[in-house]
Amino acid sequence: MTKPNIRTLAELPFHVSGRFPKAMLVGRCLEDELIKCSSREFFEQIRDLSLGLETLGVHHGDRVAILCDSRPEWTITDLAVLSIGAVTVPVYPTLPPDQVGYILAHSGARVVVVADLVQAAKVREQRHRLPDVHTLVVIDSGDGSTAGGGFGERTLSDVIAAGHDRLMHENGLARVYKEQAQGVDPGELATIIYTSGTTGDPKGVMLSHQNLLSNIVDVDRALEITDQDIALSFLPISHAFERTAVFLYLYKGASIVFAESLETVGRDLQAVRPTVMTGVPRVYEKLRARIISAVADAPRYRQGLFAWAVSVGHKVASTQLIGGRPGVLARLQHLIADRLVLAKIRSRTGGCLRFVVSGSAPLGQEVAEFLYAVGLPVVEGYGLTETAPVLTTNPLGRARPGTVGTALGSVELRIADDGEILAKGPNVMMGYFEDTAATAEAIQNGWFHTGDIGRIDSEGYLSITDRKKQIIVTAGGKNVAPQPIEALLKRDPLVAEAILIGDRRPFIAALMVPDFAVLDQQLARDGLVAGSWEELVIRKEVLAIFQSLVDLTNAKLARFEQIKQFALLPVQFSVLSGELTPTLKVRRRVVEATWADTVDRLYKGAG
Output the 3-class SS for 126-161.
CHHHCCCCCEEEEEECCCCCCCCCCCEEEEHHHHHH
Mean pLDDT for the chain overall:
92
pLDDT tens-place string over residues 560-591: 899 999 999 999 998 888 888 887 788 888 89
> 571: closest CA among 598, 533, 521?
533
pLDDT for 31 equals 87
Question: Which has the higher per-residue pLDDT, 200 or 157?
Answer: 157
**What is the spatial distance between Cα 426 and Cα 209, in angstroms, rounded to a whole number?**
10
- How far does Cα 385 stand from its chain's mean position? 11
For the segment 415-423, the average pLDDT, to the nearest whole number, is: 94
Q: Report DSSP letters for 196-229, one per residue.
A: --SSSSPPEEEEEHHHHHHHHHHHHHHS---TT-
Q: How many CB atoms lie within 10 A of CB 421?
A: 28
pLDDT for 396 equals 84
Amino acid sitting at position 289? A
For the segment 127-149, the average pLDDT, to the nearest whole number, is: 83
For the segment 109-121, the average pLDDT, to the nearest whole number, is: 97
Amino acid sitting at position 476? G
Question: Which has the higher per-residue pLDDT, 472 or 100?
Answer: 100
pLDDT tens-place string over residues 307-320: 999 999 999 999 98
pLDDT for 150 equals 65
pLDDT for 435 equals 95
For the segment 551-567, the average pLDDT, to the nearest whole number, is: 92
Question: Which has the higher per-residue pLDDT, 206 or 586?
Answer: 206
- Given a cut of 90, whether residue 462 has pLDDT beyond it is yes
Question: Bridge partners of 454?
Answer: 464
Confidence of residue 198 (pLDDT cuts 50, 70, 90): very low
- Given a cut of 90, whether residue 359 has pLDDT beyond it is no
Cα pseudo-dihedral 573, 574, 578, 582, rounded to 10:
130
Q: Is the pTM of this model over 0.75?
A: yes
Among 36-40, 147-151, 220-224, 481-485, name the most confident range: 36-40
- How far does Cα 339 stand from its chain's mean position? 32
Query: At the fourth CATH level, which superfamily is domain 471-603?
Result: ANL, C-terminal domain (3.30.300.30)
pLDDT tens-place string over residues 270-322: 999 999 999 988 888 888 888 988 898 889 999 999 999 999 999 999 998 88
Q: Are strands 508-514 and 563-568 parallel, antiparallel or unpaired?
A: parallel
> 66: closest CA among 57, 75, 54?
75
- CATH architecture for segment(s) 9-184+223-278: 3-Layer(aba) Sandwich (3.40)
> 283: closest CA among 310, 265, 267, 268?
265
> 212: closest CA among 430, 20, 43, 59?
430
Q: Where do you find CATH 3.30.300.30 in the chain?
A: 471-603
Q: Where do you find CATH 3.40.50.12780 in the chain?
A: 9-184+223-278
Contact 408, 199 (CB under 8 A): no
For the segment 51-64, the average pLDDT, to the nearest whole number, is: 97
DSSP classification of residue 545: H
**What is the spatial distance between Cα 13 and Cα 43, in angstroms, rounded to a whole number?**
6
DSSP classification of residue 112: E
pLDDT tens-place string over residues 515-535: 999 999 999 988 998 899 999
Alpha helices in 451-572 (DSSP H): 482-490, 516-525, 533-536, 540-554
For the segment 216-220, the average pLDDT, to the nearest whole number, is: 96
